[in-house]
A and B are shown apart, each in its own frame.
Chain A
Amino acid sequence: MRELIRCTNVCKDYARGAERVSVLRNVDLSVRDGTFTALMGPSGSGKTTLLNLIGGLDSPTSGEIEVDGLRLDSVNAGNLARWRARSVGFVFQFYNLLPVLNAQRNVELPLLLTGLSRSERRKNAGLALEIVGLGDRGKHKPGELSGGQQQRVAIARALVSDPCLLVCDEPTGDLDRATADEILTLLQTLHWELGKTIVMVTHDPRAADRAEHTLHMDKGRLVSSASGTAEAVA
């Protein structure tokens, strides 16, 4: 399998007043296409920061990040936004659905950035909702859906433009056990059946067990992986 994500010597610092805080320190990471990787670690270990860098939401202070052949650390904000629209689907802990739009329109949102016609957008959004098992809930607004259903809509939104990478930040963090299991099963299905590459940040070891690979972070460094090397390979 080809390499989809490569991070080389990635550092990320933040300014906190006059002080500089190192959130990521010399992280090297390689993720192959079509894999399901869990990223674990205590709060403040830098896992969400690393996920944001991989998803092109933030840029590193130093180091190289290459995803699907594009050097994310050297493209401008406009190109990065276009790349995100094309290549990445995001799943957030609190779903981040737009409350004024119904499920169908929420899922259609990323397709507004494509050249698809209205009918094609509707068709694709309907298909994505079918995949997550909510084909009959398109007209419902987020407030009318349960937490699990809202996360399914968010997953449909992440899927709809057929990106090569899904980045999930604590996708089950706001859900009860049973619902969390349903969501994890859905992510596994997307990975197995649609071959999606998934990188998931989680606190929950049971969620991490559903992934093929688990990487651990602590104090801004990747400390161990399934293979136990400093350079994590998933």
Chain B
Amino acid sequence: MFRQTVNITAMNLRSVLSRKGSSSIIVVGIAGVVAVVVGLLAMSEGIRSALRETSHPDRVLVMRTGTQDEITGWLSAAEVNVLKGVDGIGTVSGELVVVVDLVTRETGKPGVAVARGVEASAFELRPDLTVVAGRPFQPGKNELLAGVNASDTYAGLDVGSKVNVRNALWEVVGHFDAGGRAHDSEVWMDLPIAQAAFRRDGVVSTARAMLDVGSDAALVSERIRQEPRLRADLVFERDFYARQSEAKAGMVESFAYLIGAIMALGAVIASVNTMYSSVSTRSVEIGTLRAVGFSNVPVVVSVMVEALLLALAGGLLGGAVVYVLYDGLVSSTLNVGSMSQLAFEFAVTPRLLLVGLGSALLLGAIGGLLPALRAARLPVVAALRSG
């Protein structure tokens, strides 16, 4: 039986070349599905990765109890000082996070970016942040330091240029690379100047802090909760960004599966149609093989293998196209947490390519099954007569 199956399958595959036109419908249809699904999943993977890379395992946010994001949170300067005294908390940086109106470079239309007012301790907390062009801003001056993605996304952020923010001219003095995509989409400025410009005197949005080495995070969190002068909670950076990325990436993922499902339905219908046509073209051949004494199983297997191989070719084609066109491509999306643009890189990972190939094979199997069963059930005499 195995030898029968191998031989009939090999024969069938050789004849695929003579049916290039109809076979290519399956390949192209499934390639389209895989390209769209893997492309959208690569986007969601990129968003997750951008937000994940921003986090540090020992870095925490201390946020007003009940707030979910930095923009809407607030802590007083007094509270930040209390926080600095909590046992187990190391360097603390009170940060004011606001959105500013800028013009997007690509479309020339207004866009919003996150501006972060920071003190020197903010740089201590983020040792991987480096100034890659120009210099850091000087305290007390209307100077901006733009993240590398922000300078790519928004117009007017070249080093040396001046940009109007909140009715004041700010000089862009440098660019920084935080090695983490979320900060790289921001513009940074001196905290007291930002508080004055945005009329938030004496207030910050959140505080970032580094836990002391060896300190127990749960204990520190409990101390903060028990401290009567503080109405705030401790949140690990990784949890904070995971929460933000879930909302956005989850939405993109749902979209990927919805669009994918609609396209997959079309591809399956095309596959079924093509494989029916393939079986119909070969019905005399199938009838002859059955007359000679071959059983149904090799016929079913040969049709299924054909459908699966064509689907695999489609999967590889779709995966290759999306990898070549999108992997590493920098794009930006609205970050729901801060209502600002978040730059990210499409990440066409091996896992996503495997998901794409798996989907392709599943579609091929569904597309091949009914025609294969039809081929097997076709009476020998009817198959011979169909010629």
Residues of A within 8 A of B (CB): 52, 55, 57-58, 78, 81-82, 84-86, 90, 92, 94, 96, 98-101, 109-110, 112-113, 157
Contact = CB atoms under 8 A, between A and B. Distances in A.
A96 B293 contact: no
A113 B294 contact: yes
A19 B18 CA distance: 40
B387 interface: yes
A113 B384 contact: no
A92 B288 contact: yes
Among B284, B292, B379: residue with most chain A CB under 10 A: B292
B292 A98 contact: no
A98 B293 contact: no
Interface stretch (B7-15, B110-118, B120-128, B317-325): B7-15
B292 A58 contact: no
B3 A112 contact: yes
B4 to A, nearest CB: 6
A57 B287 CA distance: 10
Interface string B373-387: 000000111001001
Contacts of A84: 291-293
Contact of A101 (B11, B284, B292): B11
A113 B1 CA distance: 8
Contacts of B379: 58
A109 B293 CA distance: 10
Interface of B: 3-4, 7, 11, 14-15, 18, 284-285, 287-295, 379-381, 384, 387
Given A92-B288, A112-B3, A112-B7, A52 B381 contact: yes
Nearest to B385: A48
A58 B380 contact: yes
B387 to A, nearest CB: 6
Given A84-B293, A101-B11, 13 more contacts: A55-B291, A81-B293, A81-B294, A81-B295, A85-B293, A90-B288, A96-B285, A96-B287, A96-B384, A98-B285, A99-B18, A113-B292, A113-B293
Contacts of A82: 293
Nearest to B10: A100
Nearest to B293: A85
Contacts of A112: 3-4, 7, 294
A100 B3 CA distance: 18
